[in-house]
Amino acid sequence: MVIFLIGLAIFTTTPFLGNVKMTEAIMIESLNEQELINLEVPLKEQLVDKEFSTTYGFSRAFIAIYNAKNDELKANEEWSMVMWTKPGTVALNLSRASNDGVVTQNKWLFFFLTFGLGIIGPLFYIIVDLKLKGPPGIKNDGIYHDRATNRGWIGVLTGVWLVTFYILLYFHPYIMSDAISLTDPVKGLFKEGAMASQWFLYGLLYCISMLVMGVRMYIKYRHNKYQIVRTTSVLFFQVIFAFLLVEILPLFGLPGRDLKNAMPLDYTFLYKYNIQELLEAGQFGMFLIIWGFVLSIIVVPTLVYFYGKRWYCSWVCGCGGLAETLGDPYRQLSNKKMWAWKLERWLIHGVLVFAAILTVFVGIHTFTSLNGVNDGEGISTIIGISAFDVRDWYGFMVGAVFAGVIGTGFYPIFGNRTWCRFGCPLAAYMGLVQRFKSRFRITTNGGQCISCGNCSTYCEQGIDVRAYAQKGQNIVRSSCVGCGVCSAVCPRGVLKLENGPEAGRFGNEGPIVLGNDGFQLNQ
Amino acid sequence: MDKIVIIGNGISGVTAARHIRKNSDNEILIISAETEHFFSRTALMYVYMGHMRFQDIKPYEDWFWEKNRIDLKFDRVEDIKTDVKELVMKSGSSITYDKLILAVGSKPNKFGWPGQDLLGVQGLYSFQDVESIEENSKNAKRAVIVGGGLIGVELAEMMLYRGIAVTFLVRESKFWGNVLPEQEGQLISKHIKKHHVDLRFNTELDEIIADENGRAKAVKTKDGEIIDCQIVGLTAGVSPNVAFLKNTNIEIERGIKINKFLETNIEDVYAIGDCAQFDQGVNGRRNIEQVWYTGRIMGETVAQTVTGNKLAYNPGPWFNSAKFFDIEYQTYGWVFANMQEEEADFYWEHPKGEICIHVVWDKDTGLFKGLNVFGIRMRHDLFDKWLRDGAGVDEVMANLSTANFDPEFYSHYEKEIVDQFNKETGRNVELKSKKWWRNLIGS
Ligand SMILES: Cc1cc2nc3c(=O)[nH]c(=O)nc-3n(C[C@H](O)[C@H](O)[C@H](O)COP(=O)(O)OP(=O)(O)OC[C@H]3O[C@@H](n4cnc5c(N)ncnc54)[C@H](O)[C@@H]3O)c2cc1C
Ligand code: SF4
Ligand code: SF4
């Protein structure tokens, strides 16, 4: 634990360890033509060869100059010269190139001090559980007495850290410039001398968190093969498909894409730049386009019909994967109340509708522009609403705030599947199939339930499993991601995730639970 | 419209109330002196062990009661005047009723041991017991638990979680000896010891020794051994909680005497759940049944009777389940601690000693009578059907794979079990297995 905290502390202080000095050469190399014309003069006056002790200081100064220039251009209506790239992105590039602090000088060392310690520490901590917690079995002892997992101060602190991390990552990546540069050597393993982006840092961190916490899952559920197989699957898909393939495909001149990412979770799929890039990538690109449609329209619902949405949510999906590994200690914090269920249905289906609208807008725009309508600009405004606006709103509200900041940042407060439960449009889509046309159900074992509440408490999706089980009903709920933990924690062997004929899927329909022969009501 | 009053908000009383509401518009009032709202007694250990908070073991949200027009009263009934249909409450008020259902549960047994009322000596039954054990375990190093049954194991688990060492005194020569056959008793005993419990068989409590503050500081066994401890857990069974009814007209023996319609000797007064004692056991069962499921079944039944559809208590085939540390246990039908004269049995145990299955049938007819399983989950509805339809043991053995209720991907042992069964009994059962593609789509 201490080792982990040291690693974390070093990682957290990296933003303060920069030493930024932009030379003229770097400036000229990093900026594009338009930016150079606009910014060369003020930058030379105010920034070049000046030292900053943090990338944050440097970037703030840069962004001020950038915005001032842009405002001036807009005021003068020199639209052709206005710069549309986000200033934060440019600032990140510049500060990455100009940074010469301790961290950037000793990337491997710092990589070890942060990532290395951050891996070794928890592994130790997790592996001693093998001995400490005794023989295999459900060991949820003390979860509600532990300040990390009962929304105590450790949990709150963890949440604050995660939320900060996400806000910086999405909106102010230049502050993390030093942390990003740590991962350069790893990026270099894929491509000599390549520089990592903030998304590379994020992807790497993501995989490592999943792997380390995956080890924890293996140990915690070593008696439960369903959990072992499922964890293996989710780790495999994350590391191979979402991370390695995305890094490796470009080396062969192919577009690096996450093959398992289905619409509408992957809301950028139909974006013009994406389709264009894929079209330009020849056969493999064409394959990706067709695969994208086949996946969403045929593969997804078919598999949901046979196996329930679990095949994706807790076997394949990256968001789900993080939730099931890093998020597992927080699963009990999801809200089980009736009002939360109501809110869930409004929100998630709202996002689904939003995503559908986005898809239509963007689809029309991309299709028309690729077909040369409006000189290749396409139709971007429908009933007075611009496709770009819809895109930006969605990207900001759903993509960044909901999925990232709230979804993951609030693990220690709202539980580990906030995004999957309240926000994910793909989950909503699959949920509808699962609820109305699927062979999947959680079978309740006759009348064996003792209403203890373990299942409901440990359901990360906030399903009140007990409410069904104690009536002898099966659990058929659109939000169930089939993690199997309700079944694992049940002390009386009441629950089993199963696929089977649709007939009788809902189980006991009468008011009387199995075991009472006085009634003919149920027959 | 009647005013139906239920004393006791446990599983039996609450089930009765829910079903009365389903069938009628009667006024319903539940009285309890334990907690304001219904909670799952079986889950008390998990609250103490931090698996859940108290609010998590309440099966219904607090708005449920008002929504279903079930009134609640948090008070103790001191006396019942059946002639005027009136309850005398501890708070001084009185409550009238048209029909009264007694669902007052049990109390931990105390067999008159010297020192049984000292501080630090307690049972595990009520919400208050958990509060007091919280208090008692603050500075405790060792607990002595008396009585080897289900609640004793739960208490042992609870103590170990708080780092309190456990000595477990069991009167019989094996664990849960009046219920489990020899083999299962051994298997569970081994598992309990694996969790570092000091398990003593053939050992009886003689007296509990007090310190100068009236707190338990040690116990003395019948063999004269003195064991230092700060907590003494009395878990040698429970008996009906009927002391407060002694001076009423309601007939009491060990429990509240009822007939198969759950009626007491007084008109419009019924008794259900742990506190009830049948004048004769129904369907070959004991006349006092103290499990969750029977409380529920009696609640379902009495609700019919009080709403005008007179119904006799008629439980289906026996079933039960429990968990001993990491090993789950289920039982269907009857497997007695000692085989009956006309019975034959078959026992299989996994080499690692934590999974086993015990099947009992009629020697002559081959009629399947019951099964114990440890470490494997089985389908209740299937066994219920087999027991009801009078299936033979061969049919049961042949369909063990279908009966399996373990989560997907678990190792299956049906093949080994049936092979050994055939070898030992000379029978010739062929295990029915599924085609691989049927497994794949789960049909
Ligand atoms: C720790 C533990 C674990 C258990 N585990 C299992 C298990 O795994 N499986 C199983 O089948 N069974 C189990 N049992 C047994 C099961 O819990 C009981 O059989 C069941 O709860 C009995 O329900 P009941 O409604 O009859 O009575 P209770 O649940 O005891 O309810 C009676 C209520 O009436 C109240 N009351 C009594 N007198 C008065 C009065 N004068 N005024 C007001 N209120 C009064 C009491 O305070 C109590 O709240 C367990 C029991 C315990 C203690
Ligand atoms: S109901 Fe069970 S399987 Fe479904 S999400 Fe909840 S805990 Fe997981
Ligand atoms: S965990 Fe099992 S016994 Fe407990 S409430 Fe859920 S289904 Fe019932």
Q: Does domain B319-441 fall into CATH 3.40.50.970?
A: no
CA A429 to ligand 2 center in whole angstroms: 18
Each domain of chain B, given as residue ranges in start order, spans 3-107+239-306, 121-236, 319-441
Q: Is the CB of B6 under 6 A from ligand 1?
A: no
Q: Is A141 in Cβ contact with B40 (below 8 Å)?
A: no
Q: How far is CA A311 from the centre of its chain?
A: 17
For residues B226 and B218, give the distance between their C-alpha atoms in angstroms, rounded to a whole number.
Answer: 7
What local confidence, expressed as pLDDT, does residue A355 receive? 86
Q: What is the DSSP letter of B230?
A: S
Average of per-residue pLDDT across A209-220: 95
What residues of chain B lie within 8 A of the CB of A336, using their CB? 56
**How many contacts, defined by CB atoms under 8 Å, are there between A and B?**
174
B372 versus A189: the higher-pLDDT residue is: B372
B137 versus B441: the higher-pLDDT residue is: B137
Structure tokens at A513: 């639970």
Helix H or strand E segment including B179: none
For residue A374, pLDDT over 80 is answered with no
Give Cα separations from A444 to A441, A490, B297 (angstroms).
9, 11, 18
For residues A258 and A241, give the distance between their C-alpha atoms in angstroms, rounded to a whole number.
Answer: 6
Exposure pattern of B427-440 as b/e (b: 16+ CB <10 Å)? eebebeeeeeeeee
Task: Determine contact, residues B271/B184, Cβ cutoff 8 Å.
Answer: no
Exposure pattern of B10-28 as b/e (b: 16+ CB <10 Å)? bbbbbbbbbbbbeebebbb
* pLDDT interval class at B402 (50, 70, 90): very high
Residues B148-201: tens digit of each pLDDT = 889 999 999 999 999 999 999 999 988 998 899 999 999 999 999 999 999 999
CA distance A121 to chain B (A): 25
For residues A101 and A123, give the distance between their C-alpha atoms in angstroms, rounded to a whole number.
Answer: 30
Q: Whose CA is nearest to atom 2 of ligand 3?
A: A490
Q: Is A518 in Cβ contact with B311 (below 8 Å)?
A: yes
Place of tokens 């699959």: A430
Residues B12-50: tens digit of each pLDDT = 999 999 999 999 999 999 999 999 999 999 999 999 999
Q: Is A289 helix (H, G, I), strand (E, B) or coil?
A: helix
Residues A13-49: tens digit of each pLDDT = 888 887 888 888 888 888 888 888 888 888 888 888 8
pTM for the model: 0.93
CA distance A314 to chain B (A): 14
Average pLDDT over chain A, rounded to an integer: 88
Q: Is the CB of A449 under 6 A from ligand 3?
A: yes
Extended strands (E) in B336-424: 343-349, 356-362, 368-374
Q: Give the domain B121-236 fold.
A: FAD/NAD(P)-binding domain (3.50.50)
What local confidence, expressed as pLDDT, does residue A523 receive? 41
Q: Is the CB of A495 under 6 A from ligand 3?
A: yes
* pLDDT interval class at A522 (50, 70, 90): very low
* pLDDT interval class at A152 (50, 70, 90): very high
Q: Is the CB of A494 under 6 A from ligand 2?
A: no
What local confidence, expressed as pLDDT, does residue A406 receive? 83
Q: Is B406 in Cβ contact with A517 (below 8 Å)?
A: no
For residue B112, pLDDT over 60 is answered with yes
What local confidence, expressed as pLDDT, does residue A238 receive? 93
B138 Cβ partners below 8 Å, 6+ apart? none
Pairing outcome for strands B3-7 and B99-102: parallel
CA A318 to ligand 2 center in whole angstroms: 18
Phi–psi pair at A478, nearest 5 degrees: -65, -30
For A451, the closest of B59, B194, B379 (CB atoms) is: B59
What residues of chain A lie within 8 A of the CB of B309, using their CB? none
Numbers of helices and strands, H then E, in chain B = 12, 25
For residues A19 and A510, give the distance between their C-alpha atoms in angstroms, rounded to a whole number.
Answer: 71
Task: Determine contact, residues B168/B197, Cβ cutoff 8 Å.
Answer: yes
Q: A303-312, A388-397, B173-182: which has the minimum mean pLDDT?
A: A388-397
Exposure pattern of A383-418 as b/e (b: 16+ CB <10 Å)? eeeebeebbeebbeebbbbbbbbbbbbbbbbbbbbb
Q: Is the CB of A465 under 6 A from ligand 3?
A: yes
Task: Determine contact, residues A329/A217, Cβ cutoff 8 Å.
Answer: no
A157 Cβ partners below 8 Å, 6+ apart? none
Among chain A residues, the shortest Cα distance to B380 is held by A446
> Which atom of ligand 1 sits closest to the CA of residue B238?
53
Q: Whose CA is nearest to atom 8 of ligand 2?
A: A483
For residue A379, pLDDT over 70 is answered with no
Q: A187-196, B71-80, B180-189, B381-390: which has the minimum mean pLDDT?
A: A187-196
* pLDDT interval class at B323 (50, 70, 90): very high
For B319, the closest of A224, A448, A512 (CB atoms) is: A448
Task: Determine contact, residues A94/A27, Cβ cutoff 8 Å.
Answer: yes
Q: Is A338 in Cβ contact with B11 (below 8 Å)?
A: no
Q: Is the CB of A336 under 6 A from ligand 3?
A: no
**Mean pLDDT comparison of A18-22, A240-244, B57-61, B282-286, highest-scoring range:** B57-61
For residue A273, pLDDT over 50 is answered with yes
What local confidence, expressed as pLDDT, does residue B441 receive? 63
* pLDDT interval class at B206 (50, 70, 90): very high
For B321, the closest of A136, A492, A518 (CB atoms) is: A492
What residues of chain A lie within 8 A of the CB of B319, using their CB? 446-448, 515
Q: Whose CA is nearest to atom 7 of ligand 2?
A: A459
CA B41 to ligand 1 center in whole angstroms: 6
What residues of chain A lie within 8 A of the CB of B53, using their CB? 144
What local confidence, expressed as pLDDT, does residue A384 receive? 67
Q: A375-379, A438-442, B220-224: which has the minimum mean pLDDT?
A: A375-379
For B316, the closest of A134, A146, A515 (CB atoms) is: A515
CA distance A325 to chain B (A): 19
Q: Is the CB of A467 under 6 A from ligand 3?
A: no
For domain B3-107+239-306, the CATH superfamily is: FAD/NAD(P)-binding domain (3.50.50.60)
Q: Is A74 helix (H, G, I), strand (E, B) or coil?
A: helix
Q: A161-165, B76-80, B215-219: which has the minimum mean pLDDT?
A: A161-165
For B50, the closest of A141, A467, A488 (CB atoms) is: A141
Structure tokens at B201: 């068989």
Q: Is A189 helix (H, G, I), strand (E, B) or coil?
A: helix
Q: Which of B136, B129, B132, B91 is nearest to B108 (CA)?
A: B129
Residues B119-133: tens digit of each pLDDT = 999 999 999 999 999
Structure tokens at B69: 């027009």
A351 versus A373: the higher-pLDDT residue is: A351
Asked if B121-236 and B319-441 have one fold, the answer is no
What residues of chain B lie within 8 A of the CB of A137, using their CB? 325-326
Average of per-residue pLDDT across B73-91: 97
Q: What is the DSSP letter of A439?
A: S
**ipTM exceeding the 0.90 mark:** yes
Point out the ligand nearest to the CA of residue B295. 1
For residues B399 and B417, give the distance between their C-alpha atoms in angstroms, rounded to a whole number.
Answer: 12
Q: Which of A66, A79, A74 is nearest to A39 (CA)?
A: A66
For residues B143 and B163, give the distance between their C-alpha atoms in angstroms, rounded to a whole number.
Answer: 10
Q: Is the CB of B11 under 6 A from ligand 1?
A: yes
Q: Is A512 in Cβ contact with B300 (below 8 Å)?
A: yes
Task: Determine contact, residues A289/A278, Cβ cutoff 8 Å.
Answer: yes
A370 versus A73: the higher-pLDDT residue is: A73
For residues B252 and B257, give the distance between their C-alpha atoms in angstroms, rounded to a whole number.
Answer: 6
